[in-house]
Amino acid sequence: MNPNREESACQYVLDQLEPAERAAFERQLLADPALAVLVHDLESALARGVGALPRRTPPAGLLDRIEGRLGTARPPGALGRVIARWGIAAAILLAVGLAGVWKGRGPAATGPYVLFAGLDPRQSTLARVPVAEAAPGPDARFVQLASLAQAYWDRPGEQPVKEGGAPGQGYAVFDPGTNQGFIAVRRIGAAPEGKRYHLWVIDTVSGRAREAGALPAAGDGGGLFFFSVAPNPGAKAEQLNFSVTAEDAAAVALAAPKGRVVLGATIF
Amino acid sequence: MERTLEEDAVAAEAALVARIGTGDRQALPLFSLAVRLVGDGGEAEELLQDAFVKIWRHAGRYDPRKSRPFTWAVTILRRGCIDALRRRRRHPAAAAWPEEEPAAPTADAAEAAAAGEDHDRLRRALASLPADARRALELALFSGLTQTEIAARLRQPLGTVKSWIRRGLLGLRTTLTDPTA
């Protein structure tokens, strides 16, 4: 490669260009794949060098403080809530380009997939969403799920099944393989006095409902929430459905839903 | 089949992210980078927090075709630290890549091995450079000095310094990304 282009690439990676030069170089990058590859390689080399630096233990509480900052720095229209302990990983990976991992990869019929359920106050409508193979283990699948859930939150038009138009709309993204997922709830409203909203994953054939947890009691009930449920080996993915019910707040351990369905599938 | 360096890096990154997710403070090499650039103390933490906020706010601009997420995060953090150094005109006296202190042991053997191997490769790459070229590269990486300022500090022509930095960085690329190097 021309030494001048190499030098510009090095200066770009090392932040040695003036703003105007930087803008010009970035335009050049768009039109020159070989130059883009060089910049990619240089940035990767620097990142690997960072990984080789002597590790310094961050001060106690750093993760909490970063999560706190993220909590007040959400972009407009972004999630109302994100599971706190994953906030930093989300910042690095979950919120960003893993859309590139799941978008358009693999045939829907044969490859790995997760479930998407469009929820409205009367029903839950399922669709399969193909995902990439490269997600070994629950942590990596979590990354994919969170990416999907946030992408659908930010870009509702890309959802495979439309949310209901009535108040209380939402959706769930669920991986039957690792039994974890996210539920997004919009404008569900505060739970009635003495009630809490609970999420259920239902096997529509056996009627067995697995409790996935209660939505936070405070606030308007809206947001995006992570959940996981106990395995149900007999349940087939296409038989699953999702429901949010209003249960007595005093109830400690619920074996089955008893309250009114406020979102998603009618259980019985 | 032998795994490539890229595959190893991806595997180590996946393990790293999983551990970040569970709150493992040691799994934050980004903090090490911030300390390396601006020194210990509150400023490194402040800049790291700023970087995460930028990542969060600009997530939509990330293009997975161009870089891996960790590389992107490093770029954002490094840029923030360099900007801070230039704003404050505070240039660390010892802007050098540590030679003898390897990455601390980590809980994950694969990640530790990858970091250790990278450290060895890094040392070899830096050792292969002439002393002045190595100093110029280290200043460009860690001091926040512009190339003109580096040239003045090293009392060398600007063109010479630019050439040193270019060759040094290209050498690092070869050493750290080419599995046959």
Residue-wise pLDDT for B34-73, tens only, equals 888 888 778 888 998 888 878 766 655 656 556 666 777 7
Q: Are residues A119 and A74 in the same domain?
A: yes
Classify A200 as helix, strand or coil.
strand
What is the percent of chain A with per-residue pLDDT over 70, rounded to a whole number?
Answer: 71
Looking at residues A105-112, what average pLDDT do you find? Answer: 48
Residues of chain B in contact with residue A58, where contact means CB-CB under 8 angstroms, are 25, 28, 31, 45, 48
Q: Are residues A171 and A209 in the same domain?
A: yes
Q: Give the global pTM.
A: 0.56
Say which range, A87-91, A157-161, A164-168, has the weakest mean pLDDT. A164-168
- For this complex, say whether ipTM is above 0.95: no
Q: Are residues A85 and A7 in the same domain?
A: no
Length of chain B in terms of residues written: 181
Residue A23, pLDDT > 70, answer yes
- Angle in degrees, 0-180, between the axes of helices B5-21 and A33-51, rounded to the nearest 10: 60
Residue A15, pLDDT > 60, answer yes
Residue A186 domain-assigned? yes
Residues of chain B in contact with residue A11, where contact means CB-CB under 8 angstroms, are 147, 162
pLDDT of residue A24: 92
Residue A103 domain-assigned? yes
pLDDT of residue A90: 52
Binding-face residues of B in 109-148 toward A, CB within 8 A: 114-116, 118-119, 121-122, 140-141, 146-147
pLDDT of residue B30: 80
Q: Are residues A11 and A144 in the same domain?
A: no
Q: What is the pLDDT of residues A212-244, one digit of tens each?
A: 888 766 555 567 777 778 888 877 888 888 998
Residue A38 domain-assigned? yes
Answer whether A114's CB lies under 8 Å from A129's CB.
yes
Mean pLDDT of chain A: 74
Q: Are residues A87 and A37 in the same domain?
A: no
Residues of chain B in contact with residue A93, where contact means CB-CB under 8 angstroms, are 17, 69
Residue B95, pLDDT > 70, answer no
Split at pLDDT 50, 70, 90, the class of A94 is: very low
Mean pLDDT of chain B: 71
User: Which has more pLDDT, B143 or A70?
Assistant: B143
Q: Are residues A86 and A162 in the same domain?
A: yes
Residue A109 domain-assigned? yes
CA distance A97 to chain B (A): 5
User: What does the block give as tokens for A14?
Assistant: 């090392």
pLDDT of residue B93: 44
CA distance A261 to chain B (A): 33
Residue A37 domain-assigned? yes
pLDDT of residue A215: 77
Q: Are residues A142 and A185 in the same domain?
A: yes
Looking at residues A37-63, what average pLDDT do you find? Answer: 78
B69/A contact by beta carbon, under 8 A: yes
Q: What is the pLDDT of residues B99-123, one digit of tens each?
A: 444 444 444 444 455 555 666 777 7
B100/A contact by beta carbon, under 8 A: no
CA distance A204 to chain B (A): 33
Residue A47 domain-assigned? yes
Query: Parallel, antiparallel, or unpaired for β A223-228 and A240-248?
Result: unpaired
User: What does the block give as tokens for A183?
Assistant: 């539920």
Q: Are residues A151 and A196 in the same domain?
A: yes
Strand partners, A247: A196
pLDDT of residue A82: 40
User: Which has more pLDDT, B79 or A226?
Assistant: B79
Q: What is the pLDDT of residues B119-174, one digit of tens each?
A: 677 777 777 778 888 888 888 888 888 899 999 999 999 999 999 998 888 888 88
User: What does the block give as tokens for A258?
Assistant: 């008893």
pLDDT of residue B106: 44
pLDDT of residue B26: 52
Residue A25 domain-assigned? yes
Split at pLDDT 50, 70, 90, the class of A75 is: very low
Q: A3 and B12 in contact by Cβ < 8 A?
A: no
pLDDT of residue A100: 34
Looking at residues A247-254, what average pLDDT do you find? Answer: 80
Helices (H), chain A: 3-13, 19-31, 33-51, 62-71, 87-89, 99-102, 137-154
Q: Which of A50, A57, A86 sits opposite B26 (nearest CB)?
A: A57
Give dist(CA A26, CA A13) in Å, integer.
11
Q: Are residues A18 and A74 in the same domain?
A: no
Across the A/B interface, how many CB contacts are shorter than 8 Å? Answer: 201
Looking at residues B89-98, what average pLDDT do you find? Answer: 52
CA distance B152 to chain A (A): 15
Counting the structural domains of chain A, the total is: 2
Report the chain B residue with the minimal C-alpha distance to residue A98.
B64
Give dist(CA A185, CA A252) in Å, integer.
23
Report the chain B residue with the minimal C-alpha distance to residue A36.
B66
Residues of chain A in contact with residue B40, where contact means CB-CB under 8 angstroms, are 56
Question: Which residue range is the domain that position A100 belongs to?
Answer: 66-264
Q: Are residues A104 and A130 in the same domain?
A: yes
Q: What is the pLDDT of residues A168-205, one digit of tens each?
A: 478 899 988 888 888 888 777 778 888 888 889 988 88
User: Which has more pLDDT, A120 or A187?
Assistant: A120
What is the percent of chain A with per-residue pLDDT over 90, rounded to a whole number?
Answer: 3
